[in-house]
Chain A
Amino acid sequence: PQLRESGPGLVKPSETLSLTCTVSGGSINTGAYYWAWIRQPPGKGLEWIGTIYHSGSTSYNPSLRSRASMSVDTSKNQFSLKLTSATATDTAVYYCARMAVTLDYWGQGTLVSVSS
């Protein structure tokens, strides 16, 4: 399978960061996998944001739970992330990934900068 992130590369502070992950080479509508978002601030390590199942069931990192929401569109084979009230600390490369036994397939990542 291949995963590809898309969305604005620049978001203003206090606005909502929105990203979509398009999955090809396999259906998102299968009970075999969960789908995840991970981010990596420039020069720093990886942070798990959250996970969604094809049914829409979600799980979020407690540090982001109040601002993050994920959704899935099985008709388009996509899942999405919204992060409200963005600040400069949300500047990062955002990755989407497939979760089976582990996070096995990742997208190439997309850099989102939060700046006015």
Chain B
Amino acid sequence: QSVLTQPPSASGAPGQRVTISCSGSSSNIGGNAVNWYQQLPGTAPKLLIYAHNHRPSGVPDRFSASKSGTSASLAISGLQSEDEADYYCSAWDDNLKGYVFGTGTEVTVL
């Protein structure tokens, strides 16, 4: 059961900027760090952004994230064909005492 709400799809031409939103509540995004995952078809989710806007080693700086109140967003600038994937936001939930995930957004490069 997904607690965080994302748009089902987003798209852009190569080189463009795409933004994905993630809406939650005070028990998750409002009070805890937001993380973003990229899932290529048939593979496990890969950590893209953690603690709001930190990138693990190897993740290009084309990926950035922000948070405001109970919402967060992921931006992909300079869109490339290899960015076609599903993207999920995630945050610790104080009520659940576990992680909650977004509904997922499929990014298409036109």
Contacts and interface: CB of A to CB of B under 8 A. Distances in A.
Nearest to B45: A106
A107 interface: yes
A26 interface: no
A62 interface: yes
Nearest to B104: A45
B64 to A, nearest CB: 17
Interface string B70-110: 00000000000000000010100000111111111000000
Contacts of A104: 47, 50, 56
A102 B90 contact: yes
A61 interface: yes
Contact of A45 (B33, B47, B103): B103
21 contacts: A45-B2, A45-B88, A45-B103, A46-B2, A46-B45, A46-B88, A46-B90, A47-B1, A48-B101, A51-B98, A59-B97, A60-B98, A61-B96, A61-B98, A101-B33, A102-B90, A104-B50, A106-B44, A106-B45, A107-B44, A108-B43
B35 interface: yes
A108 B44 contact: yes
Contacts of A95: 44-45
A109 B97 CA distance: 23
A116 interface: no
A21 B32 CA distance: 28
Contact of B101 (A47, A50, A62, A105): A47
Contacts of B1: 47, 63
A88 interface: no
Contacts of A102: 33, 35, 47, 50-51, 90, 99
Indicate the member of A45, A60, A102 with the most B CB atoms within 10 Å.
A102
Given A46-B88, A102-B35, A62 B96 contact: yes
Nearest to A5: B44
Contacts of B46: 106
A78 B102 CA distance: 29
A10 interface: no
Contacts of B33: 101-102
